[in-house]
Chain A
Amino acid sequence: MQSEPLKQKCEQLLRGSYAQLRDFYAQFRAIHIDQLERKWITVSMLVIGLFVGIIVIDAFFHGVNPPGKVETVDSASLHLNQEFAEDNLGVQVDAKGNVTVRMVAGRYSFSPKHIDVPAETPLTFRWVSMDVLHGVHIPMTNMSTMIVPGYVAEISTTFPKPGEYPVLCNEYCGLGHNHMWSNISVIAKEDWPAPVKSPAKGGSNNE
């Protein structure tokens, strides 16, 4: 029988690694650690545990996450892409009232150049690059993402305060990098005129 020695071997291996772990633990316990240092390490671990705990709870229960929807796109043929065709860029509202903003980044501008969005409304931004690596940040808000060619950078956020905000490219994209910026107007929810446009085909604004 083949299975008998195999089973024995597995058992031996398990027993061996268990013994190793036990030895390791015994040796670890035997290390001389000063009483005061032990307290310091305990406090340090509690503080780190607190930070990690807050982050993990926020991530799982409050949905506080960085962007991370791994979605590919062909940056070289955006002009053939339905979703990011010129007519579909900018702010769109679907039948359920979800607001999606589609933007194209390319040296050295964001298109469209200027958009109006409502305050206190959940917005889904979908950014794509038509050339190199870019980044976008709207200062004083958490609308921040890298725009990596080949990928759709999707990020959801809500702007609490109406106002005029700059939209800045924050990743080196060539010698004209600092000329890459545009504006966004955040308008009080009740004054915001929803754009009359048909929703894009092939997009993911139906989620």
Chain B
Amino acid sequence: MNDAATRKLALSHLWVAFGAFVVACFMGEYQVLERSGFIPALDSPSVYFASVSTHGVLMAFVLTFFFIMGFGYTIATTSLKQPVWNIPLAWGAFWLALAGVVLAAIPLLTGKASVLYTFYPPMVAPAVFYIGATLLVVGSWVWCVIMLVMFMQWKKANAGQPVPLAMFATAMNALLWLWTSAGVALEVLFQLIPFSLGWIDTIDPGLARTLFAWTLHPIVYFWLIPAYTAFYVFVPKQAGGFLFSDEMARLAFIVLAVFALPIGFHHLYMDPEQAKGWKLLHAIGTFVVALPTLVTGFAVIASLEIAGRLRGGKGLFGWIISLPWTNTMVLSVILSLLMLIFGGFGGIVNASYAMNAMIHNTAWVPGHFHLIFAGTTVIMYFAIAYYLWPILVKKPLFSSSMALVQLWTWFIGMSLLTTPWHVLGLLGQPRRISSVVYNNLLTLAWKPYEFMMIFGGLILLGSACLFIYNLAKTQLNPAAEAFDQEIEFAETVKPVESLPEWLNDVKLWNKVIAVLMAISFGYPILQFFFMDTSGSSPWGF
């Protein structure tokens, strides 16, 4: 990457992402401490819920959006070998999104928008909070347009050629995000902003929850796709081998993007405003979307096995030992897959329709998504950062042994945090409580698990600081020798020469998504306009 303008653009995005990340890590550790009640002086619901709301917004919206945008620009320019289309527009999107973050941060940090990142009408926050969030999303839409334009331009200039896999995945993610964000955009534009400005007197929380559920599942795949992209296009090369199959990777991304969308009702299993038939339909779709993850797990492990055997590993498991465990990308993928296996198991429980009653809104749920997002996904964000940083700043990584320690401690910390969290959920602890005041014997069993979570959080916080320190030192190192390596994309065992158009374009899948969304969300949304509903007036918190 010799293009200084693109490098600056990507770095700016990634620094905003990781800056938000480290701030949110401090909040996370404060939250486990406050919640446990071990330090009575900390006890304050208003600070706690302001912190939870900010932690959620920073991790789920700021870290992810800015990381994905920065990663997308890097992938598009390097895999397509063309500069960013309309770089002033890209900077415009950056500043717009950043302005949105700052606008939303003001009410969040002053405790005026403690409605959590899931909004929860009829509770209402100042309009500036929703407007800030909207600007952030609009910024990400501009990114989607830039990605899709670059994708189309390349296809036009290289008719009949297979689009590089990395770019195909990025284009699918842009398409996925445009569809995904439409649900929450409808909620914010037509319900929350008018409601908080007093233009409308009442709001239907049932409709709001349905629209939010439209976004809530696929947004997870929007976060996850960069991690899967790294699995396919970076890991095999870094491990010293080849990617197992290019076509299957494309199919996995397609099924992921198409089936992530029409299944959001698994967040509403316990809700009264949707009928059980629709919930069952979404439940079936939820299981279908497990398939691309199983395919991806196979492809990654197969690619690692090829690499391990090429490096001289023998026997049934010998190839595992001969993998380059000291390569940050390879170590990350191994730890990421381990967390994915356990997180996926928990996810099956959540997805299982009526069984959801057992764990719905208990501590199990944040335990699950911390394992699968903060574990599986974010550890790959680290791996990508360690890989890209030297290329973006043209200096070698400050310390690769520090990076290895950081990855191991993140894995250990996340295991210590999320295992007791799952157990607490099974023991009936609700999520989103600022302290335990239930006068009940049951809560005695919760104490030791909360202690373990504080310890896990502390390890994670240390690990996050090491990560930021390493990146900053890399960039600020004055005496470093020049680093001139380029991004290396993995080669496939059997390279593809030609592809059917539907494996090389997003147009058909856009139509398929439209049909599936109409089927699974059409009636459930329209019903609110036929039913005799009575809205709710606004409430503070």
Contact = CB atoms under 8 A, between A and B. Distances in A.
Contacts of A41: 291, 294-295, 298
A165 B34 CA distance: 26
Contact of B361 (A66, A151, A171): A171
B432 A59 contact: no
B275 interface: yes
Contacts of B116: 172
Choose among A77, A144, A170 the residue with the greatest number of B CB atoms under 10 Å from its CB.
Answer: A170
B438 interface: yes
A98 interface: no
A174 B541 contact: yes
Given A144-B358, A151-B272, A175-B541, A34 B244 contact: yes
A168 B438 contact: yes
Contacts of A144: 270, 357-358, 360-361
Interface stretch (B87-95, B220-228, B314-322, B532-540): B532-540
A59 B276 CA distance: 9
Contacts of B440: 166, 183
Nearest to A30: B500
B272 A152 contact: yes
B430 A137 contact: yes
A69 B531 CA distance: 13
Contacts of B273: 70, 148, 150-151
B279 interface: yes
Interface string B427-445: 1111111111110101000
Contact of A150 (B204, B302, B500): B204
A27 B120 CA distance: 46
Interface residue tally of chain B, by bracket?
35 or more
Interface stretch (A50-58, A112-120, A194-202): A50-58
Interface string B360-384: 1110000000000000000000000
Nearest to A62: B354
A137 B360 contact: yes
Contacts of B121: 133
Main DSSP-derived SS at the A contact region = mixed
Contacts of B245: 32-34, 37
Interface string A69-82: 11111111100000
B272 A59 contact: no
B465 interface: no
B356 interface: yes
A67 B270 CA distance: 6
Nearest to B443: A166
A181 to B, nearest CB: 5
B290 A48 contact: yes
A129 B300 CA distance: 48
Given A149-B205, A150-B536, A55 B431 contact: no
Contacts of A147: 272
A175 B49 contact: yes
A187 interface: no
Contacts of A74: 534
Interface string B248-286: 100100000000000000001111111111111001100
A148 B206 contact: yes
Given A139-B442, A175-B541, A45 B291 contact: yes
Contacts of A22: none
A48 B288 CA distance: 7
A133 B120 contact: yes
A149 B360 contact: no
B46 interface: yes
Given A137-B361, A153-B272, 16 more contacts: A24-B500, A31-B251, A37-B248, A41-B291, A48-B288, A66-B276, A66-B353, A132-B122, A135-B270, A137-B362, A144-B270, A146-B268, A147-B272, A148-B272, A170-B361, A170-B362
Interface of B: 45-46, 49, 114, 116, 120-123, 204-206, 209, 244-245, 247-248, 251, 268-280, 283-284, 287-288, 290-291, 294-295, 298-299, 302, 348, 352-354, 356-358, 360-362, 427-438, 440, 442, 494, 500, 502-503, 527, 531-537, 539-541
22 contacts: A27-B500, A32-B245, A33-B247, A37-B248, A44-B294, A55-B280, A59-B354, A65-B354, A67-B276, A69-B275, A70-B273, A70-B531, A131-B536, A132-B536, A133-B121, A140-B442, A146-B268, A146-B272, A150-B536, A166-B438, A168-B438, A172-B432
